[in-house]
Amino acid sequence: MEVVTENYRQVCAYLEARYPEIDGYDFYRDIFPNNENAGELHEDFSHPNAIYLYKDEQDPKRRALRRRIMLNDTWEEDYTEFVEENPMTLCSGLTYHSRANRLKDAQCMNALIFDLDGVGLNEIQSLFLRFGGDPNELRRLPMPTYLVASGSGLHIYYVFDKPIDLYPNIKLQLKSLKYDLTFRMWDYKGTTQVEEIQYQSINQSFRMVGSTNAKYGSVIRAFRTGERVTLEYLNGYAKEKNRVNLKKPFRPSQMRLEEAKEKYPDWYQRTVVEGHREPKKWDIKGKQGYALYDWWLNHVNEIKGGHRYFFLMCMAIYACKCDVPKKKLREDMKKAVAVLERVEHHNPDGSEDHMHPEDIKSAMEAYDKAYYNFTINDIEHLTDVRIERNKRNGRKQELHLRLARGQLAILKDAGECSQGRPSAKKKVEEYFEVFPDCPPKEAAAALEVSVSTIYKYHKYR
């Protein structure tokens, strides 16, 4: 067992002198007030439940962690038995309509949580200089509801005044909001001693208040620093493009089915005729093998400290999309861990940070269709690996643009593109029908419009 870090002592001393400490039982009562009672089953999904993971030393199957639903009428007893002083318990800020804490089963977000590593006295003082105030001022941050001393840093909780319903498109918007605020919050040598930004999903679980961090020999402690927040309040601190709009829970298509049948025959056959509603896979087993998955494995030597776990998580995402069997994925992860373990990475107190078997188990949970919507940008954020998008087949940009303009001219003469002076929207739509993978700057140059116009009328995925 490691010794309690000096950062932890400084953070706890600073917070307990200024804010009331909340024990774990009351902490989760406050965040999740509407869990079901034992034996209840609300078929209208009006009472989704929090789910937590805990280490059971007596488990005959020797599983690393077990899942348990946080029920309203048994919480006091359960907290004492499964959470308090437990060396490994985890809980997210979401509630679920099933017995599994998978993103696809998440129904509501009760709290948006951030993990900020490497926080000592100087860093927490800097944070409180930035919390609250005008969001338009440089480096301002929203005031959190709770700050939790985790052993190596802080868990920052924004508890909503009312839960946010997690429609599919709202999940994606909340992910963008969390990335935006993470970037704003993570200021090396200002708010953190750790240089590499660590982006996390909205479904990320965190050590539970009242449990212990066996790695540092510390108790997870929570302090009430502010009030519940509204989504509008958090939106105010993010860039406009990354804000959540609850009026757009879905992305309804404006295209008529007959038009879609003509324009996207493969999609129509697969989805409408054959009834396959699941997202299309990135790879085709039997034709390309596991080409995309194997391509990702080749990036293992590019991973830096602080991004090792996320490389494994993205391995699982690519494996799921490419139909790689779980058995093969686990074996490949073990090999990857052997490589990643050689990547130098230290905790804020200077001790070496090792990977653990639990990292593989946790990463394997991303082998789920719920993660199909992860984009190239998401993967770049999490792993700090630049993924090349260039589709020019080795041509110089100038030649590529000349060919693109020429092909558009030919299509116009053939009547396949609009005649006369099309609107900017029409020009962009027609261009990306021909060049769906063209980078935004090149598309803007080819069409002689601004890059903002490209982003306005074409949604990059």
**Residues 338, 213 share a domain:** no
**Residues 175, 306 share a domain:** no
Q: Indicate whether 1 belongs to any domain.
A: no
**Residues 131, 30 share a domain:** yes
Name the 3-class secondary structure at 93: coil
410 against 323, higher pLDDT: 323
**Residues 435, 313 share a domain:** no
How many domains is the chain built from? 4
Q: Indicate whether 247 belongs to any domain.
A: no
**Residues 362, 449 share a domain:** no
Amino acid, single-letter form, for residue 257: L
Report the CATH number that the domain containing residue 100 is assigned in CATH.
Answer: 3.90.920
pLDDT in tens, 336-362: 999 988 887 765 555 666 777 777 877
pLDDT in tens, 244-282: 998 876 655 556 777 767 766 766 777 777 776 665 655
* pLDDT score, position 413: 57
- Averaged over 205-215, what is the pLDDT? 92
DSSP codes of every residue in 28-62? HHHH-TTPPPTT---TT--S-BEEEEE--TT-TT-
**CA nearest neighbour of 440 among 461, 412, 423:** 461
409 against 241, higher pLDDT: 241
Report whether pLDDT(140) > 80. Answer: yes
164 close to 170: Cβ distance less than 8 angstroms? yes
**Residues 295, 274 share a domain:** no
CA distance 165 to 186: 27
**Residues 277, 296 share a domain:** no
- Averaged over 79-100, what is the pLDDT? 92
Provide the domain limits for residue 274: 253-282
Distances from the Cα of 382 to the Cα of 119, 158, 196, 200, 282, angstroms: 21, 22, 10, 7, 20
**Residues 404, 378 share a domain:** no
Mean pLDDT of the chain: 82
C-beta neighbour count of 62 within 10 angstroms = 7
Report whether pLDDT(127) > 70. Answer: yes
Q: Indicate whether 389 belongs to any domain.
A: no
Residue 286 binned pLDDT confidence (cut-offs 50, 70, 90): very low
CA distance 414 to 409: 9
Tokens 């620093």 found at: 225
Report the range out of 210-224, 291-305, 392-406 with the highest average pLDDT.
210-224
Residue 162 binned pLDDT confidence (cut-offs 50, 70, 90): very high
**Residues 357, 439 share a domain:** no
**Residues 86, 24 share a domain:** yes
Q: Indicate whether 97 belongs to any domain.
A: yes
222 against 406, higher pLDDT: 222
pLDDT in tens, 19-43: 999 999 999 999 999 999 987 776 6
**Residues 132, 220 share a domain:** yes
Report whether pLDDT(126) > 90. Answer: yes
Q: Indicate whether 248 belongs to any domain.
A: no
Residue 461 binned pLDDT confidence (cut-offs 50, 70, 90): very low
Distances from the Cα of 179 to the Cα of 127, 252, 377, 378, angstroms: 18, 25, 11, 9
Q: Indicate whether 390 belongs to any domain.
A: no
